[in-house]
Amino acid sequence: MKYPNKLNPGDTVGIICPSSPISEERLAQCAAVMEKLGYHVIASDNNTTNIGGYLADSGEARARELHKMFENPEIRAIFCIRGGDGGNRVMEYLDAELIRRNPKIFVGYSDITNFHAFLTQKCGMVTFHGPMVSSNIVDDFDPETSASLFQAINADLDYDFSNPAGYDIKVLQPGKARGMLTGGNLAVMMAGIGTPYEIDVKDRILFIEEVHESMAHIDRMLFHLRNSGKLEAANGIILGQFTNCENEDVPEYGVLEIMREALDGIDTPVLYNIQTGHGNPMMTIPFGAECSFDTETKKIHFSVERE
């Protein structure tokens, strides 16, 4: 796996909407906040294009803009501005060889799950499940979210993951696990099963997060993971934030209860309450890096090798 070069003050970063668009006013705010952090900014041409109210241009056009950012030698990191919808339209147009030749920092989450899977599985790149420019950095870039992001993208070889103060890492199923970290948003992962861009979890650590989903939908998706063999294939599972996913009708029957039932007869070790996803603070984790954890110590460790 290719771990990208560090990001230094004064470097140039690209900002892009690979899924849904933003307004011209919001784009100006996004550029300004990244400049305030000390970077030169190049924005993609599709960010404010709006098709159907939820698409930042066609899938082919968004792939073309992403290719331009990977090819541009001045750009050292690509930050997704937001997630949204329609990232799956881009996949068939992505050029794995072009991207593989130009590895660099890539940050995002939610609908960006498709891109993480593509970049790690088809391009051999480490990518970062971390804060996005409009969704997080402009309005609420708290110190813990910021520190976690820059620790991850500038990591040296080995480091331990840290939850924010006051958030304990918890155990759903005991054990030790090691493997490459993969995963992302549950609904987006489910939409990829059966396609050429299906997430590969065999002998890996599977990370899952979700937002604004009912228990019935979460039930369907977790049992889809079970029935497709993904839960059994994984060496370990890490559960992130399940934001606004409460069971209003029966509060005591929630995500953890469904997860326990989906794991019936499967002894995969599981940690939960990892603070990354659609909540705040939001910690950054490196997909494609070697991950290990021990439920007894509740420590998560990442091993990386920089190019």
Cβ-based neighbour number of residue 23 at 10 Å: 12
Q: What is the pLDDT, as a whole number, of residue 155?
A: 81
CB 111 within 8 A of CB 102: no
pLDDT digits (tens, 9 = 90+) for 24-52: 999 999 999 999 999 999 999 999 999 99
**Active site annotation includes 217:** no
Q: How confident is the model at residue 307 (pLDDT cuts 50, 70, 90)?
A: low
pTM score, whole prediction: 0.97
CB 200 within 8 A of CB 182: yes
Q: What is the pLDDT, as a whole number, of residue 290?
A: 96
Angle 198-216-228 (CA atoms, 0-180°, nearest 5)?
Answer: 30
**Active site annotation includes 24:** no
Buried b (16+ CB within 10 A) or exposed e, 236-245: bbbbbbbbeb
CATH of 159-303, one of 2.40.50.140, 3.30.390.10, 3.40.50.150, 3.50.30.60: 3.50.30.60
What CATH number does the domain located at 12-154 have?
3.40.50.10740
User: Is pLDDT of 228 > 60?
Assistant: yes
* Amino acid at position 174, single letter: P
Q: What is the pLDDT, as a whole number, of residue 158?
A: 87
Average pLDDT of 103-116?
97
pLDDT digits (tens, 9 = 90+) for 241-274: 999 999 999 999 999 999 999 999 999 999 999 9
Q: What is the pLDDT, as a whole number, of residue 156?
A: 77
Q: What is the pLDDT, as a whole number, of residue 100?
A: 96
Which residue of the set 19, 135, 213, 278 is catalytic? Answer: 278
Q: What is the pLDDT, as a whole number, of residue 260?
A: 98
Q: What is the pLDDT, as a whole number, of residue 263?
A: 98
Break the chain into its structural domains and give their ranges: 12-154, 159-303
Which residue of the set 19, 20, 44, 110 is catalytic? Answer: 110
pLDDT > 70 fraction of the chain, expressed in percent and rounded:
99
Which residue of the set 209, 210, 213, 290 is catalytic? Answer: 209
pLDDT digits (tens, 9 = 90+) for 194-226: 999 999 999 999 999 999 999 999 999 999 999
**307: exposed, middle or buried (C-beta count within 10 Å: 0-12, 13-18, 19+)?**
exposed
* Average of per-residue pLDDT values in the chain: 96
pLDDT digits (tens, 9 = 90+) for 63-102: 999 999 999 999 999 999 999 999 999 999 999 999 999 9
Cα-based distances in Å from 89 to 17, 147, 199, 209: 13, 33, 16, 22
Q: What is the pLDDT, as a whole number, of residue 306?
A: 58
**Active site annotation includes 278:** yes
